[in-house]
Amino acid sequence: MDVCVDGMKRSVPPDVSAAHLLAEIEAGLLREGRLVERVVVGDRTFWSVEEAKGAAEAAKDAPGGVEVYSRTFEEFARDVCASGAEYIGRLVPALKECAALWKDGMVQEAAALWSAAVDGFKWLTTAGAQVAHLTNDEAWAPALARLHEALIPIERSLAERDFVQLGDLVQSKLVSGVENMAGWFSARAALK
């Protein structure tokens, strides 16, 4: 089996498992300050080494081999932050609409938007934490704290089913917390 890492071909001895080799390649890239972006096995693309291991082992004797693509921590961080800033640009109007729906008593419609927003918050907080960790960025903690501060009274209003207050809190507190995060993501996306 042949493995190509960022365009450089490596031959693999027949007694080495593809899974072990991929793990070693990933560890070597990490030591170089790089992350695996994707692994291509035949016509399938995997977004992590762990996902690709079984397919790579199954394709060990097939022609074409395995391709591994990596990026520097900084490249990864910039792209994640650009995605985060772009997503927040869509999230803020959705939160404003959600707040208006709650205030107008359209609870089911608001709840559907809120559910999607919660999934977005999970992605944003995970992505921000990963970027902050990779780049030793201490400015993430205050941005995250502001979002958490906004969510505490919102959780109370949800529990009490006070939807008018909930709409007010989303509009007055949460939107500004999310916009604060947008500034954090945008600033890091622009770094060269």
Torsion of CA 130, 134, 136, 142, to 10 degrees: -10
Q: In what order do the strands lie in the sheet with 34-41?
A: 8-11, 2-5, 66-72, 34-41, 44-46
Helix H segments across the chain? 18-31, 49-58, 73-103, 107-135, 140-160, 163-169, 175-189
Please tell me the predicted confidence (pLDDT) of residue 63: 63
Q: State pTM to two decimals.
A: 0.72
- Tens place of pLDDT per residue across the chain (192 aa): 678 899 898 877 778 787 888 888 899 999 998 989 888 888 888 888 888 877 777 666 666 678 899 999 888 889 999 999 999 999 999 999 999 999 999 999 999 999 999 888 899 999 899 888 888 888 888 888 888 898 999 999 999 999 999 999 999 999 988 988 899 999 989 876
Secondary structure of residue 38 in the 3-state scheme: strand
Domain boundaries, the chain: 2-64, 75-189
CA distance 6 to 3: 10
Amino acid, res. 35 = L
